[in-house]
Amino acid sequence: MSLRRVATLPQDGPGTVRVPLVGPAVCAGFPSPADDFLEGALELPRWLVPNPPATFLMQVRGESMRGAGIFDRDLACVDRSLLPQHDSVVVAVVDALLSCKRYRIEGNTPRLAFDNPDLPAFAVDEASEVEIWGVVRFTIRWHVARGRLA
- Structural contact between residues 124 and 101, judged by C-beta atoms closer than 8 angstroms: no
Do residues 133 and 96 touch, judged by C-beta distance below 8 A? no
Strands 16-22 and 55-59: parallel
DSSP per-residue codes, 42-104: EEEEGGG-S-GGGEEEEE--SSTTGGGT--TTPEEEEETTSPP-TT-EEEEEETTEEEEEEEE
Active site residues: 64, 101
